[in-house]
Each structure stands twice: as structure tokens, then as C-alpha cells.
Amino acid sequence: MVTEQIAPQYEGPPQVAAHTATWRHRHLLDVDSLERGEIERVLETARAMQEVLARPVARTPALRGVIVCNLFYEASTRTRASFELAGKVLGADVINVSAGGSSVEKGESLVDTVKTIAAVGADVVIIRHPASGAPYLIAQTIDSHVINAGDGQHAHPTQALLDAFILHDAFGRLDGRRVVIVGDMLHSRVARSNLWALTRLGAEVTLVAPRPLLPAWLARGGEEREHPLALPNVSCDSDLDRAIVGADAVMALRIQRERMRGALLPSAAEYARRYQLTAERVARAAPHAVVMHPGPMNEGVEIASEVAHGAQSRIEAQVSAGLAIRMAVLFLLVRGVS
């Protein structure tokens, strides 16, 4: 069951030649379907988009006449605003549908809602849904491009791509760089998608969490029988003070309060004591280390305020990178496929 959550449609690493001129994906459902050259293509395109965003008139006609629909079944500020703005900067028409205030409240099923949206002419459907795998269902149902903006505990590909973009900015190639991700590894779609993106770009990833929230089977080596889905370059540790030493980047994940009630997590104070990114802990990482957080933050729980707003923090840069990444993804999906 756990393996299904990780990657519903994972069929091994893609075999197609890297960096082909034509973009071969109609949808972006997770990062696991992208090979290294394709991830780099997204980052390269996002860099050009950043230049567009810096112009006095940040608006281009690249997606003129394209209708983009934001379909959000979960609360979201930055992802949704960022997709909406990305579409508008590229000249697309963007409509927003949220579960509250739409026919969803009247009991319409996901498939029916999506068919309706496709019927009014949406070329791209961007979906966030609490059920893992919902975007895959939609991609099979309609002819529009589908972008996964976060599905349950499964994937959040644009977040992982923007994190990769930030790291690429800081270090160039990521080969041999070590990234520590701290938080609820078992339930985090951000962590999952980041695992795919970062390891494919050559980084080593250390997952840090209290033992019940640590998918130890993901790490290779150390165990008697390796799990078939164990990833190279991934290690697990329940001791942040040990894992953070010499790291090139540290990413804290939001602690979801509902998990604390489920007895998987100790109290917020107990979690903070052992796993909060404090200035003292960050000082043990490499001197050039960057600090990241996908937001929204619980300052004082998983990250100290002084770290969140400190010199090593790239958290604000993550938000603006998110816009460029989402423009790049929209552009490649709609215009890159011949």
C-alpha cells in the first residue's frame, strides 16, 4: 500500500534520450516521469521566464487564447496565486474554481466537474485535491493538459521543481550536494516529489524525522533486505543534529497539526526541541548552506523565526521562483508538444 502512495504509475526510470527538442509530456503529474534532461529543461525555461518577470511590462502573448482552469479542492495561497499569475503573464485566460462555492458543494463528482470544465474549453486544468492520484484520474478522463498542484500525500511536482531551481541557483549542478529534508516524511507530498527531483539531479538526500514518520525502507543499504523501491543517494536519520553536519541545504517541512492528534508526533514543543531549524543547528551545516521551506510556515515549531528570515534563508526566493517554474511548466506543456 505504501508503495502505491509513492508512485501510482511509476514504471522505472524513463529510457528516452535526454534533452530532446520536443517536450514529450502532455501532463505534469509528478516529477518521477521526468528524466534529468527534462528537469533541466524546465529549470532553463524558468530562468528565461524570470527575465520576463523582471521586465517593465511583464506580460507576453505566448499563451494567448489558451484557457487555464485552476481547480482547487484544498486551501492554498501561494500555489494557486502563483499558477494564476503565471497563466496571466503568459497571456492565457485563467479561471478559478474552488470546491467551496461551486457545484462540488451540490454533490457533483470530481469526474463530472472536470468534464464540465473541459466542455467549456479549458486547455489546461490545474488541480489540487486531497485524494492521492486524483490528477491521474483526470488526465485519463479529459483531453486537456493536467497539472498536479498537490494531490493528497502523493506529489507536488511544481514545488519540487522550484526547490530544485533554488538549489541550482545556489550551487549550479547538484551532483554530490547533500540536501537534508526535515519533517513528516511519511505524509509529505513535497518531500516525495523533492526526492525524485533532487536525486535525479544528482544530489544526495537525507530525510530526517521522528522514527515513526521516517520511511526507512526508502534508504538504500543498512537493512538486511533492501526494499525494491529503495532509492540510491537517499539516507534516513532520526537525529537532526547528526544529519545536518556539513549539509549544503536544509529544507524544513510544515508540521501538520492534525498529525499531532494522531499520536504519530509528540507535542509541538517536543518536536521543536529535537527538530526545529534553529540558528545553532543551521550553523552546523556547511557555511554556504541555504535554508528552505515550502510554506506556509509554523514559525517557532519547525523553523525558528531568525532562521526563516535570516541571511541563509531562500524562502522568499522560493515564492518568486515558483512563479517562474509554473510559467515554464505551462509553456512547455502547451507549446512544447508538437
Partner 1 sequence: MRRVLMRIAHEIVERHPPPEPLVLMGMQTRGVPLAERLALSIEAIDGRRIAAGAIDNSLYRDDLARRSTARILPSRIPGDIDGSVIVLVDDVLFTGRSIRAALDALIDYGRPAVIELAVLIDRGHRELPIRADYVGKNLPTRRGDDVRVRLAEVDGVDDVALHPAPLGLPTDGGR
Number of residues that bind partner 1 (CB under 8 A): 23
Applying the rule CB under 8 A, the residues between 38 and 67 that interact with partner 1 are 45, 47-49, 51-52, 55-57, 59-62
15: contact with partner 1 by CB under 8 A? no
Cα gap 123→199, rounded to integer Å: 32
| Of 46, 75, 85, 29, the residue nearest 331 (C-alpha) | 46
Determine which helix (DSSP H) or strand (DSSP E) holds 147, and give its type and residue range.
strand 145-151
Residue 16 binds partner 1 (CB under 8 A): no
Minimum gap (Å) between residue 158 Cβ and partner 1: 18
Nearer to partner 1, 59 or 173 (CB): 59
Shortest Å, Cβ 55 to partner 1: 6
Q: Does 336 participate in binding partner 1 (rule CB under 8 A)?
A: yes
Q: Does 17 participate in binding partner 1 (rule CB under 8 A)?
A: no
- 20 to 39, contacts with partner 1 by CB under 8 A? 21-23
Q: Is 172 in the site for partner 1 (CB under 8 A)?
A: no
**Cβ nearer to partner 1, comparing 23 with 275:** 23
C-alpha cell recorded at residue 96: 478559478
Does residue 338 interact with partner 1 by CB under 8 A? yes
Nearer Cβ to partner 1 (53/231): 53
CB of 191 closer than 8 Å to CB of 181: yes
Burial class of residue 28, CB neighbours in 10 A (0-12, 13-18, 19+): buried
CB-based contacts of 312: which residues, under 8 Å, 6+ apart? 282, 289, 290, 291
Please report, for residues 62, 178, 235, 253, 325, the alpha-carbon distance to residue 250 in angstroms, rounded to integers and kept in the order given: 36, 9, 14, 10, 21
How many CA atoms, within 13 angstroms, populate the side-chain half-sphere of residue 143?
Answer: 3
Is 90 a binding residue for partner 1 by CB under 8 A? The answer is: yes
Binding site for partner 1 (CB under 8 A): 21-23, 45, 47-49, 51-52, 55-57, 59-62, 90, 331-332, 335-338
